[in-house]
Amino acid sequence: MRPAALRSVFTPEISFMCEVIVGIPEFYREVIAPVEVRIEEGNSIKKISALSRMEFLFGSLIAIGFLVQKVVLSIFFFLANVFTCGLSQSFRASFCKNIQAGLKYFGAIPLGWAGVLIPHVINRKILRIPVDGLFVQS
């Protein structure tokens, strides 16, 4: 099953964690990985290259920065939710989104450290990026 299909089958708590687990490799694939875009006959082809040790280190440092930001925002929205006695749905929704993003970045930190030690295994098994790169048509 694809991750999108998993989200619709399970309860909200399980789908919440599925999105966190799926989001960790997506962070490295979409934000950190080197990307080349080629346009051929009206179609754009995106090549995602395998990550090096330095890129994994850089990714874990960026994840630490994003984690700090999400923790601060979570505290802010938690306090806003407490002061409004839980009557504002937007504060509650923002609190949950920031918690979810914080968990994703919290999981990306050890993945980056493991990528510094064994980049070829992390690229191939977890990020699913082959040595010659991953081609995505958009």
Q: What is the pLDDT of residues 60-93, one digit of tens each?
A: 999 999 999 999 999 999 999 998 887 888 888 8
Q: pLDDT, tens digit, for every residue of 8-46?
A: 555 666 777 888 888 899 999 888 988 888 887 778 888
Alpha-carbon distance of 81 to 94, in angstroms, equals 10
Domain that includes residue 29, residue range: 3-137
How many structural domains does the chain have?
Answer: 1
Q: What is the pLDDT of residue 1?
A: 45
Q: What is the pTM of this model?
A: 0.81
40, 63 in Cβ contact below 8 A? no
Alpha-carbon distance of 86 to 126, in angstroms, equals 39
